[in-house]
């Protein structure tokens, strides 16, 4: 007598073989043509070197060395084609397929070309998944992770979607280029440690020679940001951007740049970003930032201008807290180098000041400051100061 477990195993094996045979039989009805016969998707010629059956994990037709012929061919080393069973069952559309690819290699303009149809096709793609996407831009390559392509009812490409470390990308064909929508809950860049953004949305275009974000918006440190950003790609990667900072907490922004910073208030600014390098990873080390800033209704702790104004001889000005209505100036810095800052005007009631200084890589301050104060008598008292110490403990000394 055959044991019950053996009977069950035999039944499962036979059922599996029957199902596989049935599935392959259905696949064989998928009228893909021979490798040397004309095939077209979206009205575009498609060629492949060979065809065979495979499991992914269900039976599929495997195509090798696939080429979709646009002005610049879109290539796939291997692609697995399956019927879109939902389309087959619901509408009897036996020419609809779903495709999986190991790696897609293409120029952005070629992918955008899939948003148009040149006419009737032997196959209509409804969905395509890829394990990697290699974009050819200028003379460089940009390697992207797994994602998917969705196609409209007429078979034209509607969306390319992928995600990189919480950053979501959605590209749609638009007039020979890819319109790009980028969304992220949180974003920071190690090369720009002072800034951390939330709920960022960026809109732009992706072309064969780079990407351009013409609208960037998001929240940051109690305020917001807006701006534009361009990345040109040819022999090198070249970054050029403009950011506007609106009503951010100065203590948070400057504190991340230099821990212990003693400045607080509402920060507004215009920041110009530039960088270039042979590789994308070279942009961070070459990043330069310069621009203007305005801090409203703030204070500088351990910055004793008022006590220094009362000294009659040279020496340390002492500590204290200097409150101000407005502080504005310029800044200039580059990754790993000395940063320079100017204070064009400090308004603190009867006290006004201006100065300039540099911030060394270890946080040491070197510079000077000049201040004037209107006295109750109507006279004006002026003093000049040397600025030293460090970012977290600035030191003012009156000069003769």
Whether residues 152 and 86 fall in one domain: yes
pTM: 0.81
In a domain, 389, yes or no: yes
27 assigned to some structural domain: no
Clarify whether residues 133 and 116 are in a common domain. yes
Please indicate, yes or no, whether residues 184 and 144 belong to a single structural domain of this protein.
no
- Strand bridging mode 39-41 / 96-106: unpaired
My answer on whether 72 and 107 are in the same domain is yes
Q: Evaluate whether residue 351 is within a structural domain.
A: yes
pLDDT tens readout for residues 142-157: 899 999 999 998 889 9
Give the domain-ending residue among 172, 193, 219. Answer: 172
pLDDT at 21 over 50: no
| Amino acid 16: pLDDT | 46
Q: In this predicted structure, what is the pLDDT of residue 204?
A: 97
Instruction: Give the pairing type, strands 96-106 and 124-137.
Output: parallel
| H helix or E strand, kind and range, residue 85 | helix 85-91
Among the ranges given (5-19, 197-211, 260-274), the one the predictor scored with the smallest mean pLDDT: 5-19
What is the pLDDT, as a whole number, of residue 70? 85
What is 223-249 written as a DSSP string? EEEEEEEEEEESSSEEEEEEEEEEEEE
The DSSP-derived string for 170-215 is EEEEETTEEEEEEEEEEEE-TTSTT-EEEEEEEEEEEETTEEEEEE
The count of domains in the chain is 3
**pLDDT, mean of residues 43-59:** 84
- Asked if 73 and 135 sit in the same domain, the reply is yes
Instruction: Report yes or no on 356 lying in a domain.
Output: yes
Q: pLDDT at residue 44 above 70? A: yes
Residue 120 inside a domain? The answer is: yes
242 located within any domain: yes
Residue at 110 is within a domain: yes
Report how far apart the first and last C-alpha atoms of the chain are (Å, whole number): 113
pLDDT at 33 over 60: no
**67 is written with which tokens?**
């080429």
Q: What local confidence, expressed as pLDDT, does residue 75 receive?
A: 96
Name the average pLDDT for the chain: 86
List, for residues 200-210, the tens digit of each pLDDT value. Answer: 999 999 999 99
Check whether 115 has a pLDDT greater than 70: yes
Shared domain check, 122 and 185: no
Are 145 and 198 within one domain?
Answer: no
Q: Are residues 45 and 83 in the same domain?
A: yes
Of 156, 172, 188, the last residue of a domain is 172
Note whether residue 181 is domain-resident.
yes
Query: What's the Cα-to-Cα distance from 97 to each of 87, 114, 119, 129, rounded to whole Å?
Result: 9, 16, 17, 12
Does the pLDDT of residue 332 top 70, yes or no? yes
Q: Do 65 and 97 belong together in one domain?
A: yes
Regarding whether 283 and 228 lie in a shared domain, the answer is yes
Quote the domain boundaries for residue 232. 176-258+269-289
Cα–Cα distance for residue pair 240/365, rounded to 1 Å: 29
Look at residue 120 and tell me whether its pLDDT is greater than 70.
yes
More confident residue, 323 or 398: 323
The answer to whether residues 274 and 318 belong to one domain is: no
CA–CA separation, 400 and 396 (whole Å): 13
- The domain boundary residue, chosen from 128, 150, 172: 172
Helix (H) or strand (E) holding 250: helix 250-257
My answer on whether 154 and 46 are in the same domain is: yes
């Amino acid at each position: 007598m055959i044991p019950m477990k053996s009977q069950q195993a035999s039944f499962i094996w036979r059922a599996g073989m029957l199902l596989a045979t049935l599935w392959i039989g259905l696949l064989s009805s998928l009228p893909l043509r021979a490798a040397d016969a004309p095939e077209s998707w979206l009205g575009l010629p498609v060629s492949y070197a060979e065809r065979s059956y495979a499991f992914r994990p269900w039976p599929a037709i495997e195509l090798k060395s696939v080429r979709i012929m646009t002005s610049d061919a879109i290539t796939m080393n291997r692609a697995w084609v399956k019927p879109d069973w939902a389309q087959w069952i619901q509408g009897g559309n036996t020419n609809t397929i779903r495709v999986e690819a190991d790696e897609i290699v293409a120029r952005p303009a070629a992918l955008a070309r899939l948003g148009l149809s040149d006419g009737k096709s032997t196959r209509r793609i409804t969905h395509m998944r890829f394990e990697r996407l290699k974009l050819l831009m200028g003379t460089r390559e940009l390697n992207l992770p797994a994602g998917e392509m969705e196609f409209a009812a007429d078979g034209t490409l509607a969306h390319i979607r992928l995600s990189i470390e919480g950053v979501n990308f959605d590209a749609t064909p638009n007039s020979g280029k890819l319109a790009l929508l980028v969304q992220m809950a949180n974003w920071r860049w190690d090369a720009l440690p002072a800034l951390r953004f939330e709920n960022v949305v960026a809109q732009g275009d992706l072309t064969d020679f780079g990407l351009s974000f013409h609208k960037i918006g998001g929240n940051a440190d109690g305020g917001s940001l807006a701006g534009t950003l361009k990345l040109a790609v040819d022999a090198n990667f070249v970054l050029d951007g403009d950011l506007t900072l609106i009503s951010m907490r100065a203590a948070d922004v400057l504190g991340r740049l230099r821990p212990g910073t003693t400045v607080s208030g509402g920060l507004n600014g215009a920041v110009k970003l530039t960088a270039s390098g042979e590789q994308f990873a070279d942009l961070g080390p070459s990043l330069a930032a310069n621009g203007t800033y305005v801090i409203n209704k703030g204070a500088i702790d351990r910055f004793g201008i008022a006590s220094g104004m009362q000294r009659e001889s040279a020496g340390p000005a002492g500590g204290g807290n200097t409150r101000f209505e407005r502080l504005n100036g310029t800044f200039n810095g580059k990754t790993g180098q000395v940063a320079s800052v100017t204070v064009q005007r400090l308004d603190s009631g009867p006290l006004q000041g201006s100065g300039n200084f540099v911030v060394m890589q270890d946080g040491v301050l070197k510079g000077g400051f000049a201040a004037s104060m209107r006295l109750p008598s109507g006279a004006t008292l002026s003093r000049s100061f040397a600025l030293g110490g460090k970012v977290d403990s600035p030191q003012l000394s009156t000069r003769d």
